[in-house]
A = this chain, B = another copy of it.
């Protein structure tokens, strides 16, 4: 199976769970005993922070890999710790893959021509080595991208997706309060900028549609905008939609499912803070964060399925 949308659809079907867990490990989220353990192991605080991040991710993955199809590391939180942080990210991606999870690298990368090609190679493809061989580097299954630069900023990513069975999610309508600053501007033809972006995403994805009926060129549509999401679902009937904004950002399960097709497929909902900090809402000890995360993930799955069943009636 060499189409990302098909691989994602299969994982969602296997687990019965259209969710992805964000791995945004800020240091405050990590139990103190993990941080202290690595602090004693090495003198370099940047390295010890990075080792603690990897350990945190590993424990989380161990506790959710059988019930959640994918993880979404947010690259910023690894860049904060420089090369050590990026090593923790590489190891996290490998570990999640071995645990059977798909990895969506949330980097919102964007550039043109040869530089877009370099990003595509770094995150999804292969990279030239001095001995003229080539090797994957971060090797995620999918990457989020920003298409403000237009088609020739996206083409190199699509080429790698086709060649390697990988995917991208293009920002269409983001979940943040001021998403509308640029995305809601009204065009002379009556559409908004985000609707115009959606039309492009649908077009760009047209020849990467898998057996499941969805494209490996997906879209990001925030759960915090359910009305817009319902409209966007129709404008991009074959795009796999990544839905951020559920939980800590305020969107409910009913909001989040606005991006799903009428048959309950074609989208995946992200939760980050609500999962990583579930030990707080569940009044458990910080050290039990991974058990709490699993409970919260099962709760989220149940809420989404309930919302989808209610809507289907």
Contact = CB atoms under 8 A, between A and B. Distances in A.
A45 B129 contact: yes
A90 B80 contact: no
A218 B38 CA distance: 41
Contacts of A138: 79, 82
Nearest to A120: B76
Contacts of A284: none
A123 B74 CA distance: 15
A5 B85 CA distance: 30
B84 A131 contact: no
A43 to B, nearest CB: 11
Interface of A: 24, 26-28, 35-36, 38-39, 45-46, 48-49, 52, 74, 76-77, 79-87, 90, 108-116, 118-119, 121-123, 127-131, 133, 135, 137-138, 146-153, 171, 174-183, 185-188, 190, 193, 196-197, 200
B76 A108 contact: no
Contacts of A116: 76
Contact of A188 (B39, B133, B186): B186
B130 A152 contact: no
A33 to B, nearest CB: 12
A289 B130 CA distance: 19
Q: Report the copy number of this chain in the oligomer.
A: 2
Given A82-B90, A151-B181, 16 more contacts: A45-B130, A45-B135, A76-B111, A77-B115, A81-B137, A82-B87, A82-B138, A86-B86, A112-B174, A112-B176, A146-B146, A147-B181, A150-B178, A150-B181, A153-B178, A185-B196
A185 to B, nearest CB: 5
A180 B150 contact: yes
B137 A153 contact: no
A11 B102 CA distance: 47
A38 B149 CA distance: 36
A83 B81 contact: no
Contacts of A127: 80-81
B79 A123 contact: yes
B82 A183 contact: no
A199 to B, nearest CB: 11
Most chain B CB neighbours (cut-off 10 Å) among A148, A151, A152, A175: A148
